[in-house]
């Protein structure tokens, strides 16, 4: 097999592995939402265990990428994609971590008085799921405009975080005895707000990979 043919085949395999990693992270976010709504401890453990698999996938993909760089000597567009892989997997791993943070926080919040603001957390996670799905569709389709549209959804997450913060601060004034629970919710909202930032980083990587230019999205 010619060198270019071998590189094409191995790059295709690499993309499949990255897609599997992204799909698992999206699925884990969905399970985290169920835990937030139900307090399902068994499902929470599934998310935690899956987080370990995500970590293993990151290492596997990065090892594959390093091997390709060392043995196939890619240039130009192919090299940019391989460099971008490290950015994608790093951000996916962080998104997976926040899914684990979510289930841990959900179990702690389940015994506390219901906060209406939890619904905003749910919307933030749902938006993050949609962002991630769109980002990886853009990656596989090599479509920068789709990547930009995916990143633009981060504005919805930021708006929910801002509104939640205002609601919780007002709630603390009314019921100061629940300040610790409110602080937990604020901290969780901060984690979920960062989901959008990490997915935006992935979108920026996709644009660099395709166009060869660095573009700041949602600044």
Going by C-alpha positions, the residue among 100, 129, 83 that lies closest to residue 137 is 129
Tell me what pLDDT residue 161 has: 94
Identify whether 81 is part of a domain.
yes
pLDDT averaged over 10-residue windows placed end to end, the chain, 219 residues:
70 93 95 89 94 95 94 88 95 94 82 69 95 95 95 96 90 83 87 94 96 87
Q: Is 216 a domain residue?
A: no
Confidence at residue 136, expressed as pLDDT on a 0 to 100 scale: 94
Alpha-carbon distances of 213 from 150, 154, 204, rounded to whole Å: 18, 21, 9
For residue 4, what pLDDT is reported? 62
Can you tell me the distance from the alpha carbon of 202 to that of 146, in angstroms, rounded to the nearest whole number? 12
Q: Is residue 9 part of a domain?
A: yes
31-44 b/e with 16+ CB inside 10 Å = b?
bbbbbbeebbeebb
How crowded is the C-beta side of 132, counted as CA atoms within 13 Å? 32
CATH number of the CATH domain containing 160: 1.20.58.220
So what's the pLDDT on residue 72?
85
How many domains does the chain fold into? 1
Q: Is there a domain that residue 217 lies in?
A: no
Q: What CA–CA distance (Å, rounded) separates 54 from 48? A: 10
CA angle 177, 180, 182 (to 5 degrees): 90
What is the three-state SS of 120-134? HHHHHHHHHHHHHHH
Q: Look at residue 219 and tell me if it is in a domain.
A: no
Please write the tens of the pLDDT for every residue from 159-175. 999 999 998 888 888 88
Q: Is 37 domain-assigned? A: yes
Residue 74 DSSP code: -
Give Cα 146 to chain centroid, integer Å. Answer: 17
Instruction: Provide the residue count of the chain.
Output: 219
Q: What is the CA radius of gyration of the chain?
A: 19
First to last CA, the chain: 45
Q: Is 130 exposed, middle or buried (CB count within 10 Å of its CB: 0-12, 13-18, 19+)?
A: middle
Closest CA to 96 of 134, 56, 136: 56
Residue 113 is assigned to a structural domain of this protein: yes
Distance of CA 119 to the CA centre of its chain: 19
Write out the residue range of the structural domain in which residue 198 sits: 3-211
For the whole model, what pTM was predicted? Answer: 0.92
Task: Give the max Cα distance, the chain.
Answer: 71
Assigned domain for 56 exists:
yes
């Amino acid at each position: 097999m010619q060198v270019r043919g071998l590189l094409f085949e191995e790059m295709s395999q690499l993309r499949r592995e990255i897609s599997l990693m992204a799909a698992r992270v999206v699925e884990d976010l969905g399970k985290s939402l169920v835990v937030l709504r139900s307090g399902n401890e068994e499902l929470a453990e599934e998310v935690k265990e899956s987080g370990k698999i995500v970590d293993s996938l990151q290492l596997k993909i990065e090892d594959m990428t390093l091997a390709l760089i060392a043995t196939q000597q890619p240039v130009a567009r192919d090299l940019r994609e391989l460099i971008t892989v490290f950015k994608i997997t790093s951000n996916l791993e962080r998104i997976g971590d926040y899914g684990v943070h979510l289930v841990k926080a959900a179990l702690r919040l389940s015994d506390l008085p219901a906060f209406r603001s939890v619904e905003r957390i749910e919307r933030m996670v749902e938006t993050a799921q949609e962002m991630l799905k769109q980002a990886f569709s853009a990656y596989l389709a090599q479509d920068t405009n789709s990547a930009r549209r995916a990143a633009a959804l981060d504005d919805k997450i930021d708006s929910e975080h801002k509104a939640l913060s205002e609601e919780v601060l007002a709630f603390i004034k009314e019921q100061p005895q629940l300040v610790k629970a409110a602080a937990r919710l604020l901290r969780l909202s901060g984690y979920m707000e960062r989901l959008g930032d990490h997915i935006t980083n992935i979108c920026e990587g996709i644009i660099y990979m395709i166009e060869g230019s660095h573009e700041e999205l949602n600044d």
